[in-house]
Amino acid sequence: MASEVMSELGRWRKPKSLADAKQMADTIIDNMEPEWLIAFGLDLLGAPETAQYVLSGWIQRRRPPIREHLPYFVFMLTINIFFCLVLPTQLLRNVKPSHKIDLAYLYYLPFCSVFTSKDNFHAEIVPLFLTSEQTFVNGTELKNDLAKLVAHYESLPEEVLKTGLIHFAAYPPEDTAFLATRLWDKYLPRWRELKDLPKPPRDPEEEKRLVEEINRQTDSPELQPCDEQDIDKMDYATIRRMVYPKKGRWLRFSEEQIRRVAESEKQKSEAATSKGG
């Protein structure tokens, strides 16, 4: 693959480092004839049948820079050209065919703030494709931090643990020695302020009304399953998820909430049985 790609792109020097290879890939994209590069790139990415459509749209918009017009295409193409530049060198150790699959994980980068992996291949390459707004977290470091979080929460008093994860672990610990805390500080900077805001008082009547409305919409005999695939033709759709009260050793919710839900389900079951009898 690498030899075929490089024969199409022409003669380029060997990169001196992985960072140099990334810069060379950017240079190649910025200096090739755009119309040819679009067709070449779509073929490389396995979508040659879209070339005419994409080119027509680009021409119709008076041939803007492809980095502006097709940013995600350019991103994926850069990754593949980068890989083809480094494959003939010794810059990547122990290269194997599966690395082409590992490389495809980088396609998700524009859509995430944090990318984590224990793969040495990703540890070497991913940081080259991140912006200053993104973070690479080594998977081993993340695993160790999760273990620290478990130890931290296990040390809490029993009465606190009984309130459930949604209460005592709604936010990370304030100690920045935790990786999770540092990531929250970076990506959700107002969390400390929100954490200290007073919780709105509970209104039991409003909660009861909400539950009754949900039950009316989900349990009404007027509702029938349908095969309609166009959601625009529906008044609403219901998606059900089963949430267990415990996750591993942890209570997800408070003991009181779990008890109330269990009683409600029992009453519904008894009502249905009575109705059926």
Q: What is the mean pLDDT of residues 130-141?
A: 97
Question: What's at 185, amino acid-wise?
Answer: D
* Each residue's pLDDT tens digit, 34-60: 999 999 999 999 999 999 999 999 999
First-to-last alpha carbon distance for the chain, in angstroms, is 70
Please report the pLDDT score of residue 275 as a whole number: 66
Predicted pLDDT at 59: 96
**Across the chain, what does the average pLDDT equal?**
90
pTM: 0.80
Provide the pLDDT for residue 276.
63
* Residue 22 reports pLDDT greater than 80: yes
**pLDDT (tens digit, 9 = 90+) per residue, 76-134?**
999 999 999 998 888 887 777 777 788 899 999 999 999 999 998 899 999 999 999 99
Q: Is the pLDDT of residue 267 over 70?
A: yes
Max Cα-Cα span within the chain: 83
DSSP per-residue string spanning 23-66? HHHHHHHHHS-HHHHHHHHHHHTT-GGGHHHHHHHHHHTT---H
What is the percent of the chain with per-residue pLDDT over 70, rounded to a whole number?
Answer: 99
Q: How far apart are CA 42 and CA 49, in angstroms?
A: 8
DSSP 113: S
Q: Where in the chain are the domains?
A: 2-113
Amino acid identity at 78: T
| Integer Cα distance of 120 and 139 in angstroms | 10
Do residues 76 and 107 touch, judged by C-beta distance below 8 A? yes
pLDDT band at 27 (very low <50, low <70, confident <90, very high): very high
Q: How many other C-beta atoms lie within 10 A of the C-beta of residue 197? A: 7
CB 161 within 8 Å of CB 251: yes
Q: Is the pLDDT of residue 221 over 80?
A: no
Q: Which residues contact 181 (CB under 8 A, 6 or more apart)?
A: 172, 173, 174, 175
Under DSSP, the state recorded for 87 is T
Band of pLDDT at residue 277, cut at 50, 70 and 90: low
What band does 186 get if pLDDT is binned at 50, 70 and 90? very high
